[in-house]
Chain A
C-alpha cells in the first residue's frame, strides 16, 4: 500500500468519522432552534384562540414575530448545518403550515375561546417543531462508519 504512505486507509476513515462527528456536534444548534419553534408555536396558537377577536391576534403576534426574528438571526449566525438539514427543515415548516392553517380555519369560526379545542390545537401545531428537535438530536448524535 505504498501510495497510501502519507495517510493510512484506516486512519483516514477514522479521521472522516471524527470530522463528521465534529460537524454533527456543531450542528446541534438546530435542536435548540426547533425546540424554541415548537414551544413558541404552542404559546402563539393558544393565545390566538383564547383571547377573542383582535386581542388574540395582537397577543399572538407579539409572541410570534419577535421569536421568529430572533430564531432567524440565530440560525443565520451559525457556521455549519448538518447534511439533510434543508430537507428536514422544509418538512417541518410544511407540516407546521398545514396544522396551523387547519387549527385556525376550524377553530376561529367554530371554537372561539374554547380551551377544549385550542389546547390540543396548540399541541398539534407545536408537534412538528418538537418532533424535528427529537429527530435532529438523534441525527446529529455520534455514530459509526460512513
Chain B
C-alpha cells in the first residue's frame, strides 16, 4: 500500500526542528542564523547540526559574510528545498483532510 499520503512526506523535512527551519526559511528571502535560532527556539549547536543535514540534502544554502566587522551567517532555502517543503505541506494537508473526511459505506 503506497497510496496513503504519509508516503509523500519527506523524511529529511519531517523531523520537527528541520520542519520548523524549513517553514521559517520558506517565508524568507534569507534569514540570519541567530534569527532562525531564536524563532525556532533551539540552541546554536542544534541549529548547526540540523542546518548541515538540510544543506547536505540540497534544501538550504549557507552564506557567510560581514556587517561592519561583525561576522554573519545567512540561511536561505534553495529551489529544490522550496519544492520539497511545498510537497511536504501538501502531504500534511492531505493527511489532515483525509482524517476529517467522513467514512463512506
Contacts and interface: CB of A to CB of B under 8 A. Distances in A.
Interface of A: 1, 3-4, 6-7, 9-10, 12-13, 15-16, 19-20, 22-24, 26-27, 76-77, 79-86, 145-146
B61 interface: no
Q: Which of B26, B28, B67, B92 has the most CB of A within 10 A?
A: B28
Contacts, number: 85
Contact of B39 (A4, A10, A22): A22
Given A4-B6, A76-B67, A77-B67, A12 B19 contact: yes
Contacts of B92: 9-10, 12-13
A80 B27 CA distance: 10
- Describe B's contact surface by its main secondary structure: helix
B12 interface: no
Contacts of B34: 79
B96 to A, nearest CB: 5
A80 B39 CA distance: 11
Counting contact residues on chain B (CB < 8 A from A), the size range is 20 to 34
Interface of B: 6, 9, 14-16, 19-20, 23-24, 26-32, 34-35, 39-40, 67, 86, 89, 92-93, 95-96, 99
